[in-house]
Structure 1
Amino acid sequence: MKISAIKYEARQSLKGEWGKVVGLTFLYFILSTVINFSVEVYASGGILNWFNQDYTPPLASILNAIISIILIPLTIAISWFYLDIVREKSPEIPQVFTIYTDARLALKSIGTTIMIGIFTFLWSLLLLIPGIIKGLAYSQTFMILKDHPELSIFEAITESRRRMVGYKWKFFLLNLSFIGWGFLCLLSLGIGFLWLTPYIYTSNATFYHKLIAEKKTL
């Protein structure tokens, strides 16, 4: 399946869903921004101290790191939201937050993210290129976990690596093809990302649905 066909399928899936996905992107941006701002103000000892400070307090960095970990399940649930759009399941925005109602799944998503980060970092110590290649190989781990929640963290990572054989370059080029749109979004003061982000998410979900999902699990 050509990259142009993947992106076309993504645009077709987004028909009638743009209001919803733009709203979700905006909601996530506001949520993360407000949380990070509130943490920095709190760690600085108040809004006046925050405004006058010359550097970010260590406590703010620590708290922001913790918040980033807490938000991991939400970012994964958002990617699953777009897979449901591709599969015509008409998801609603509130469902992305339900991942926190399943403590085991939320912790599993955090653990998986950490392990992928460690593996990618270790490969990057050899050279940058091996790290990028491994990052591409692990890219489908969370989609596979959505379809096969019974898999362990390491089984899902291994399965992603196996299924991505022969597809890593296509996935890389698919995401690279959005770089021009990214520059245009910067010219729009970032507003364009409200539309570009859902387009990228949906294209990646289409890639998984059309090319990766049907491969048999070992």
Structure 2
Amino acid sequence: MEINRKELRQTARKQLKGNWLWVIGLLIIPGIVNLFLEYITNYVWTGSFNTYNLSLVSWWQGLGWSIFTIITGLIATMIAWGVQYATLAFRDTGEKPNIFKAIFSSFTNGYFSKTFLTSLLTTLFTFFWGLLLIVPGIIKSFSYAMAPYIMKDMID
């Protein structure tokens, strides 16, 4: 079975026709939210938006900063997964919800616990594989790259 690339491009163009602003917003707004989370994390623990002031932070502030960073990292990951869920829904059904509803779709629709647990486990396993050496961590990051899609498929 040969894939006709020309037909695939035409189908993609037809589906995106008139929806470019929604798709671009779906890609830009989560980046802005993630930057905002990063700046808040840095400001809360260092009193500055600059990450280079970490030498002035005590050990307990560093521990709190690390925990807060992990939490905001998980939130950023779940936002990225929400974008993936919205993209899949748009591709499969043509459904185009509000951008903010689409971005935070991993927190709603009964996805929260499954998304949170899956993102936490893939992050932990990738980290532990990366402790062995760099190459196994890279290989496992590629192995777990399709986890959001598989999970969404299983839920639906």
Q: Percent identity?
A: 26
Cα shift at 1:38: 2.2
1:144 lines up with 2:146 in the alignment? no
Question: CA contact under 8 A between 1:74 and 1:99: conserved in structure 2?
Answer: yes
Question: CA contact under 8 A between 2:85 and 2:152: conserved in structure 1?
Answer: yes
- Alpha-carbon distance change, 118 to 42 in structure 1, aligned in 2, over 3 angstroms: closer
Which consecutive residues of structure 1, in runs of 5 or more, have no partner in the other structure? 151-218
- Alpha-carbon distance change, 14 to 53 in structure 1, aligned in 2, over 3 angstroms: closer
1:55 lines up with 2:26 in the alignment? no
C-alpha separation in 2, matches of 1:82 and 1:43: 35
Letter matched to residue 42 of structure 2: E
- Alpha-carbon distance change, 52 to 75 in structure 1, aligned in 2, over 3 angstroms: closer
Question: CA contact under 8 A between 2:30 and 2:103: conserved in structure 1?
Answer: no
Match of 1:96 in 2: 103
C-alpha separation in 2, matches of 1:52 and 1:113: 28
C-alpha separation in 2, matches of 1:108 and 1:136: 20
The structure 1 residue matched to 2:82, chosen from 65, 69, 77, is: 77
Letter matched to residue 21 of structure 1: V
Cα shift at 1:34: 1.7
- Alpha-carbon distance change, 68 to 146 in structure 1, aligned in 2, over 3 angstroms: same
Question: CA contact under 8 A between 1:72 and 1:109: conserved in structure 2?
Answer: no
Q: Tell me the TM-score normalised to structure 2 length.
A: 0.69
The Cα offsets for residues 148-177 of structure 1, whole Å up to 9 and x where unpaired, read as: 128xxxxxxxxxxxxxxxxxxxxxxxxxxx
C-alpha separation in 2, matches of 1:3 and 1:35: 42
C-alpha separation in 1, matches of 2:49 and 2:127: 35
- Alpha-carbon distance change, 86 to 120 in structure 1, aligned in 2, over 3 angstroms: same
Letter matched to residue 111 of structure 2: L
The structure 2 residue matched to 1:113, chosen from 106, 119, 138, is: 119
Match of 1:64 in 2: 69
- Alpha-carbon distance change, 44 to 81 in structure 1, aligned in 2, over 3 angstroms: same
SS state at 1:37 partner: helix
- Alpha-carbon distance change, 6 to 54 in structure 1, aligned in 2, over 3 angstroms: farther
Letter matched to residue 79 of structure 1: Q
The list of structure 1 runs, each at least 4 consecutive aligned residues, that deviate by more than 6 angstroms after superposition, is none
- RMSD of aligned C-alpha atoms? 3.3
The Cα offsets for residues 5-42 of structure 1, whole Å up to 9 and x where unpaired, read as: 69725455333221011112221122111222123222
